[in-house]
């Protein structure tokens, strides 16, 4: 999806920012699985609005360079930047504008399914990483589609997800073919809303490449169903992660 042709960047954080507790949860997960003693340089690849960039810089006391092809997304990231060691640059995962053998960690969050050439992106990660470097992949997977909280309310989203979201096996194989090996993997269950009313408010921003692909009738019907849901919260979703070395 070309985010620059949409108004999603302006609304992205309204729908996708899940608060400091979720950021802390992910920073703890990254720190737990990375062996490199000192991480001085990090690429936040497909950084979007920079939701994780500042947290990465703070947790690892590192310089973070956020790379994204969308100038609108980068505009939002730059406007909200608060950490002095975070920088942003326009670029694609398939041609990372960073010198070879120069970074300790490549962090990829919910971006793999947007790569136009995943194998080239993995080769680029291998090129820019130092010998002891790692890739931390935080990703959606086809295996978990039925567990995503909005799918029951937006039935037509399932087909779109199945078409766009690759399997975790495929994602792992892409990095293996680029001479990576899996260090660890797992699933983090994160809280995305306190209850269905809160969840509906986030969904209303339509800050999701799948939901924005639905026609208005399907989206509005699904949103109404979420607002009518009486089940107790919190609302959670599973997100896969894989650490490559």
Tens-digit pLDDT profile for residues 18-56:
889 999 999 999 999 987 778 999 999 999 999 999 999
Confidence tier at 168 by pLDDT (50, 70, 90): very high
Report pLDDT for 38: 84
Tell me: pLDDT of 59 over 80.
yes
pTM: 0.94
Looking at residue 48, its pLDDT comes to: 94
One-letter-per-residue 3-state SS of the chain:
CCHHHCCHHHHHHHHHCCCHHHHHHHHHHHHHHCCCCCCCEEEEECCCCCCCHHHHHHHHCCEEEEEECCHHHHHHHHHCCCCCCEEEEECECCECCCCCCCEEEEEEECCHHHCCCHHHHHHHHHHHEEEEEEEEEEECCHHHHHHCCCCCCCCCHHHHHHHHCCCHHHHHHHHHHCCCCEEEEEEEEEEEECCHHHHHHHHCCCCCCCHHHCCHHHHHHHHHHHHHCCCCCCEEEEEEEEEEC
Q: Which two tokens stand for residue 237?
A: 């979703």
Is 2's pLDDT higher than 90? no
Return the closest-CA partner of residue 154 out of 233, 219, 228: 219
pLDDT digits (tens, 9 = 90+) for 73-129: 999 999 988 889 999 999 999 999 999 999 999 999 999 999 999 999 999 999 999
Fold of the CATH domain 3-144+164-191+237-244: Rossmann fold (3.40.50)
């Amino acid at each position: 999806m070309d985010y620059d042709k949409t108004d999603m960047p302006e609304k992205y954080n309204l729908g996708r920012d899940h608060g400091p507790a979720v950021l802390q949860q992910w920073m703890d997960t990254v720190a737990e699985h990375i062996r490199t003693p000192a991480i001085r340089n990090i690429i936040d690849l497909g950084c979007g609005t920079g939701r994780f960039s500042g947290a990465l810089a703070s947790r690892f006391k590192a310089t973070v360079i956020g790379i994204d092809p969308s100038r609108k997304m980068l505009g939002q990231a730059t406007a909200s930047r608060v950490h002095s060691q975070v920088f942003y640059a326009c670029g694609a995962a398939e041609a990372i504008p960073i010198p070879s053998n120069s970074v300790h960690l490549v962090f990829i969050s919910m971006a793999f399914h947007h790569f136009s050439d995943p194998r080239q992106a993995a080769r680029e990660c291998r090129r820019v990483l130092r010998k002891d470097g790692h890739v931390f992949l935080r990703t959606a997977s086809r295996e978990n589609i039925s567990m995503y909280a909005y799918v029951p309310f937006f039935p037509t989203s399932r087909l779109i997800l199945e078409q766009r979201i690759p399997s975790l096996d495929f994602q792992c194989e892409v990095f293996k073919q680029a001479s990576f090996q899996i260090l660890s993997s797992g699933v983090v269950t994160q809280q995305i809303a306190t209850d269905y009313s809160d969840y509906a408010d986030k969904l209303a921003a339509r800050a999701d490449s799948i939901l924005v692909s639905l026609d208005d009738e399907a989206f509005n019907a699904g949103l109404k169903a979420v607002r009518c849901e009486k089940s107790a919260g919190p609302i959670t979703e599973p997100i896969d992660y894989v650490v490559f070395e």
